[in-house]
Chain A
Amino acid sequence: MCRLAAITSRDYFSPMENVIALETMKEGHDGSGMGLILKGLGGEFKELKDYPVLSGICSEAGLKTLDDYMNKLGFKMKYTWTPKTRPVKGIESRDYYFARVYDYPDMYRDKPLDEKESLLMKTRLSLRKLGEKDESIIVFSFYPDILALKEVGDPLQLAEFFGLEKTSLKAKIILAQGRQNTNYAINLYACHPFFIQGYSTMTNGENTAFVPIREFLMGRGFPGYIGYNSDSEVFCHILHYTCRQLGYPLHYYKDVVTPLKQAEIEDRPDREAVTFLKMSLRPLCIDGPNCVIGFTPDGSCFMLQDTKKLRPGVVGGVKGKFGLMSEECGLDSAVPGRERSVDVFPMKYDMAIVTPDAEEVTVWNQLLG
């Protein structure tokens, strides 16, 4: 079972907090990888919020291809962050880990956000394609104020490998996942958390409805809906589709992935809309077992469960700092001083939402709407 540790805070914090939470929750073999997605970057990135950050890994040769490609498109590099890696037993180092801040090509600088977003996504996909065959380029995200770091290995060892303890890397929201890969060959593109255009999720569980969901997403005509090296990537794309493409408020994500029965819908104030969206989005229904944690562009974080099998998940914290974890002990490590009795364990109908800046946690109940 994968471990999930998300922290959202008003103040900047180090990804080490997530790693330690993961370590606290560790059980059994757990070395197939760790993924980190940081949003609301601090440190050196603080002043560069408006510029897109390209996160990934390259071989020497891949780096050259990448530079040439970015130059050709007119992206100008403003800043590079690379982890100061040190050798750790069991972790095979790749040539070059990076998070690079670019300035937009001239003709894009004053374009509206969605055009910029589309350029960034297309660029990321092209880079992915360029380096996919020989794994010379692996890119996780290319978006303003977002940084992604992923590698195969035990989370704590990876933290040491990346020198996370010493780095100035900080953020206000960090999703971290320690993977226990059971189904698929280890591939970094299969490593959670996933990110697309401001939306990110990570999941604990297995997605039995993966194939119909993947086929439906791939048929939306949106170029970013590809990949799917992991059956969990669809959760992120469903979120993006629901909120960004269709423009639905966040809690409808719950209605999409775990639709109510018709009789239950009848009691909802928005019954007509929910009835129609249930029909139209029928192939996006998940069947679990899944606990999904994610964030949206405005900095809201959420947790929800599938309706029957449920995976462990708890949300708790204090005003200004909340954790969304797969286990209580992880939460204890991240936010020790909180009132435990008000921790939220989202059930079948719940969607726990932590408001931006970690103000408060609210539980949206699907039955009540």
Chain B
Amino acid sequence: MEPASRLDNNHELAVKDFPYIIRWRDDRCTRCGRCTAVCPMYSIEPAVVVKRTLHSEGPTPEPKTTRRVETIVKQTTDIGRYCTGCGTCTLVCPNEAIEPEYNPQHKFNFHKNLGGHPYRRGGRRNDPAPSTLDRLRFTRISMLTDPALDAGRHEFRIRTYLGRVLPAEELPLRVENGRLELDTASGKFIPPVREIYPVIIGSMSIGALSPNMWEGLAMGITYLNEVEGMPVVMCSGEGGIPQRLLKSRFIKYFIPQIASGYFGWDEIVRTIPHMVEDPCAIEIKYGQGAKPGDGGLLMAHKVLKLIAEIRGVPMGVDLPSPPTHQTKYSIEEAVAKMIQSMSMAWGFRVPVYPKISGSRTAKAVLNNLVRNPYAAAMSIDGDDGGTGAAYNVSMDSMGHPIASNIRECYLDLVAQGKQNELPLIAAGGVGKKGNLAANAAALFMLGASAVSIGKYIMQAAAQCFGDEYNRCNVCNLGKCPRGITTQDPKLYRRLDPDKVAERVVEVYKSLDVELKKIFAPMGRSTELPIGMSDGISADDPAIAERLKISYAC
């Protein structure tokens, strides 16, 4: 007889409480052990079970029992080791014997607070519903009265400006022999402006990203610039830039970010005299869409040698950045002084702009920037933005969606006649469902001069597993199974920087074709159709009304 076991498993969770349930097939499994070895969460483990079978042979029942000890793969119900559904086990299984399955009835959020610690994760808002951007369609199609352009044959100028653009009235021009000439004697300050590709790779730090991932992205954009002639730029995120890059001529494709922790800036400032090129721009981070009003955090286990060097800190310590820039106390201080000091550091040759999180107060910031002649742009990161680490509650519930935020700011600029002076950069959920070109084009037509992407490029270039069903999203733990957001060489050596670079190039080349496929039928090619709001419609009257565009059904 088997010993009777307890049947009151109260205070234990059932697999059914978990967001992903592992489907393991005994008949296919050859017990190679790869899945259990690779699982970043230790959610599955080899286990030994006793199988008791009862059988009877012969004409009269003579039951016999057989006890067999078998090895299986078992999913744990320890919430600290929950299965994230990443699917790495599936990836490595040679026999298609294991697969996580999403469990819509899960109760994860009820339980993931052991020890009174709220759930923290990476990724972005867990909301698989289509975003507003995905509900916009391009409805103004050129046809007979205005022939469409040919995306394959015509020349398209998919470029934008990053930097403060002077109104024509203020340009120091004079007419000389029937020609306009720049009046250099006027002494008028002309702010620096860069012509860039309008889809920027947004701020992801070395530190949050693995060295291989960062290198892959950097090589990709450098190739795009140097070989493909596409001026794609990338923001470094908080935490500095490797010296080698700072001192190279490729720094012109990068936007170093300064955030509230000022990590890495001692090193950057000291390098300025040795730099051979100016960076593309400087981004001052005041907020982030994924966790508005919250600071950054790089956990100690990610602070290894390289990161410590770049950031100028000791190894193995937590690196928190405060929610605000502690040295400043008002918007005038925070914005004006920071912008001016950063501009001054590079002799006013580099555009400097702030990034804020999407918020109902965005217009107040905007109006402050409009009046600051050194502010080069304003970047707004909507609530669908991604992050390497944040509280789940911040990600899921805080912040403002990008669509109406950017629209409102743009229309505010229009009302002041300044829509061409201060470029707006939109971020947060661009390409969330994979529709990068459509989302970007819709944002341009709502008024953005450029958009910024993060999660999309991680998914497209490095096969990041994360999604809005909370798949994977352990970027904060340094356990990234793809080697994207980890400093553990055992993990990041899985990621080949050359392959990442190759994918970045492919993504941008195909994006370029898709943007043309949108602009051509709409008859636009010479300039980016910024603010061409008659080109788009929403499938919902309330969205249409809020965005001041048409409704189409």
| Chain A interface residues (CB < 8 Å from chain B) | 182-183, 205-206, 208-212, 215-216, 218-221, 245-249, 252, 258-259, 261-262, 269-270, 272-274, 276-277, 279-283, 285-289, 307-309, 369
Contacts and interface: CB of A to CB of B under 8 A. Distances in A.
Contacts of B53: none
A8 B165 CA distance: 39
Contacts of A269: 179
Interface in B152-185: 154-155, 157, 161, 165-169, 171, 173, 175, 178-182
Interface stretch (B106-114, B216-224, B413-421): B413-421
B147 A212 contact: no
Contact of B531 (A182, A211, A246, A273): A211
A291 B161 CA distance: 28
B526 A205 contact: no
Given A273-B171, A283-B420, 14 more contacts: A205-B146, A208-B146, A208-B522, A208-B524, A208-B532, A212-B529, A215-B414, A219-B416, A219-B418, A246-B168, A249-B175, A262-B195, A281-B420, A285-B527
B190 interface: yes
A-B pairs with the 10 shortest C-beta distances?
Answer: A219-B417, A273-B180, A208-B523, A206-B146, A272-B182, A280-B168, A285-B527, A212-B531, A211-B534, A270-B179
B180 A279 contact: no
A308 B440 CA distance: 24
Contact of B171 (A259, A277, A282): A277
B149 interface: yes
A252 B526 contact: no
A198 to B, nearest CB: 18
Contacts of A289: 146-147
A210 B534 contact: yes
B193 interface: yes
Task: Report, as a range, how many residues of chain B touch the other chain.
Answer: 35 or more
Given A212-B529, A309-B147, A277 B419 contact: no
Interface in B405-430: 414-420
Which of A216, A273, A286 has the most B CB atoms < 10 Å from its CB?
A273
Nearest to A307: B526
B275 to A, nearest CB: 24
Which of A183, A249, A258, A369 has the most B CB atoms < 10 Å from its CB?
A249
Interface in B364-408: none
A324 B18 CA distance: 76
B533 interface: yes
A209 B168 contact: no
Nearest to A258: B526
Contacts of A273: 171, 173, 179-182
B133 interface: no
Contacts of B169: 245-246
B525 A215 contact: no
A93 B168 CA distance: 45
A288 B523 contact: yes
A81 B30 CA distance: 101
Contacts of A272: 181-182
Contacts of A308: 149, 154-155, 525-526
